[in-house]
Amino acid sequence: MPSRLATSLCGVPLKTPVLAASGTYAYGVELRDLVDLAALGGIVVKGLSREPMDGNPPPRVWETESGMINSIGLQNIGVRAFVHEKLPQLRDSGTAIFANVFGYAVEDYVEVVRVLEDSEGIAGYELNVSCPNTKHGGIFFSSDPALLAEVIGAVRKIARRPLIVKLSPNVARIEPLAQAAAEAGADVLSLVNTFVALAIDPRSRKPRLGSGFGGLSGPAIKPIALRMVYEAARSVKIPVVGLGGISNGLDAAEFLIAGASAVQVGTANFWDPAAPLRIARELDQFLQQEGIEHAHDLIGTLKL
């Protein structure tokens, strides 16, 4: 990729500012025969939990008019199996690997990161805080600044690697959460996660998904995601990674202009696993056409 795109995120070198989002690229190794992983900006692997999880009942995915709703249920092989089975294959991938981490109690996050800390080949962590804290009545970490700060602070104490915190859009205002995350020790914020959504079969009068509600992603959420990235980036001094409906290079440019330092591509990967590479090329073409020397020259340049 051209030098116009080369960048870094919290000290981690990236060939491009375009990464593959968690939950949309499996563990990375599954796609190595389809995509040159070394050319990617980075991969955020599928969410990892303390123990393996089977996920939600099918159907798990429903295509909407301008995106998709998923309710996978965070199915994964567990952090220890990841370390033994997947990570050895990722170490020579040639791209930055970020481990997405989730849990239902603070100690779950801490234990997953503790296991990963002993392993080589990981550039950093992304905490998925869009999970209910079962010890606090099911309140979501992502919706309460105090709970958010608690889990980030606990992980920060043991994590030597950079810490990305992935924020949920299902809140009244994003700024208090962004600020709480930054003050608690996050190195980077990523947003947005999916929007809680519902699809209904009018004939059966039942949900289209086996678990009822799901997470809406894809082009439908891009305008809202852009607004929230802009608000978050203005409220903190740490970098922000933007995601939500990015399908082409111009979409990526918009997120940079809104204040993101890098972007993640998610839903587009389901129909085109090489989407992050294509989007990076299109972003580079846009920079060249506009006479912009480097992608970072776009960051935070929105004129309001």
Taking Cα atoms as reference points, which of 96, 255, 287 lies closest to residue 190? 255
Taking Cα atoms as reference points, which of 196, 215, 199 lies closest to residue 207? 199
Q: How many Cβ atoms from other residues are within 10 Å of residue 156's Cβ?
A: 15
Query: Is residue 267 a contact partner of residue 20, using CB atoms and an 8 Å limit?
Result: no
Taking Cα atoms as reference points, which of 14, 13, 36, 164 lies closest to residue 102? 164
- Which listed residue (83, 131, 192, 256) is catalytic? 131
Query: Is residue 229 a contact partner of residue 260, using CB atoms and an 8 Å limit?
Result: yes
Query: Is residue 62 a contact partner of residue 80, using CB atoms and an 8 Å limit?
Result: no
Query: Is residue 78 a contact partner of residue 52, using CB atoms and an 8 Å limit?
Result: yes
Pairing between β-strand 163-166 and β-strand 124-128 as defined by DSSP bridges: parallel
- Report the C-alpha gap between 78 and 51 in whole angstroms: 5
- Report the C-alpha gap between 298 and 50 in whole angstroms: 39
118: which residues sit within 8 A by CB, 6+ positions away? none
- State yes or no: is 10 an active-site residue: no
**Catalytic machinery residues:** 131
